[in-house]
Amino acid sequence: MLHVVTGAAGFIGSRLVAALNRAGITEILAVDDLEDGAKVRNLAAAEIADYLDKREFLAQLKSGRLDGSIEAVLHQGACSDTMERDGRYMMENNYGYSKALFDWCREQEAPFLYASSASVYGAGVDFAEQRENERPLNAYAYSKFLFDQYVRRRLGQTGAAGAGQVAGLRYFNVYGPNEAHKGRMASVAFHAFHQFRAEGRVKLFEGSDGYGDGGQLRDFVHVDDAVAVNLWLLENREVSGIFNCGTGRAQTFNELAAAVINAASGGDQAAEDLARRGLIEYIPFPPQLAGKYQSYTQADLGALRAAGYEGEFMPVKEGVAAYVAELMQA
């Protein structure tokens, strides 16, 4: 029986494949779109049973060729560019494709774990998984929100029992290894590291939305912590629902920049001191992001903890140090 990972050559998907390998699972069907061939480096060390293009995979599902052969589907594939303006492409890729996989898994009673996003909360300040807190600001966020709504309706109609596990994870600001191919959509930690190496400083936005310079707050979560939640769900197939996946701890961009600089330079200085030395520089807030920017996110982990997840999440200082150590070896 195959474990299917979509987006398998991508950021979270490739780390998930590696984690499955460490758990002794190699019967993996890797599904992706390798139009960007640079992503293959993320899978070079992995053990998989087969690879399929995402279009061929969907065609094989619809033809019935894969009936009875899949243990679980871990659906990480999506267009994650929050600045993508082609809403038609976004909805087809993120919403329509996800619906097709979900419906097939329900028919086969196969577990279906999928990537949602904290972007569904928009500029809100309440981050519990409830409809009244969800106000997406762009096409990407809307595609994720609408699929969550589809899942909710289907679970409400039939319930999870007897139809296979269904669980969505609303990833907050994920950072860590294997994200280089994402370009401008790679994490703040990734860009801060390369900026510091190239220019000797890290640039952050000036204050906005009532926050001071570099004081905007995000819930930054290491990719391996996000992967750990996926593996826990695989082991606890009675758990279904939509869950936040973050640390539950909002930290400033200043803290993240300081963690990057200190890890790269062997120092241990506060952001204020780094800014005075010119190692953190504040630049004007881009007008094109006005009204489209999340200045504060913090995962409410109540539902995930109530479901039984007891794993810990690395704070920025620890997680970024581990990430920078890997980046410096590349």
Give the global pTM: 0.94
Residue with tokens 């019967």: 27
Q: What is the pLDDT of residues 266-320, one digit of tens each?
A: 999 999 999 999 999 999 998 887 777 888 999 999 999 999 999 999 999 999 9
- Residue extents of the structural domains in the chain: 2-172+221-246
List residues with catalytic annotation. Answer: 140, 182
The tokens of 94 are what? Answer: 């993120």
* CA distance to 119, 137, 142, per residue, from 88 (Å): 18, 16, 12
- Of 141, 138, 25, 144, the C-alpha closest to 76 is 144
d(CA 233, CA 231): 5
Does residue 231 or residue 36 have the better pLDDT? 231
d(CA 138, CA 120): 9
Q: State which CATH number among 3.10.129.10, 1.10.1740.10, 3.40.50.720, 3.40.190.10 fits the domain covering 2-172+221-246.
A: 3.40.50.720
Neighbours of 31 (CB within 10 A): 28
Evaluate the CA torsion angle 201, 206, 208, 211 in order and state its sign.
positive
pLDDT over threshold 90, residue 110: yes
d(CA 289, CA 14): 30
Q: What is the pLDDT of residues 243-267, one digit of tens each?
A: 999 999 999 999 999 999 999 999 9
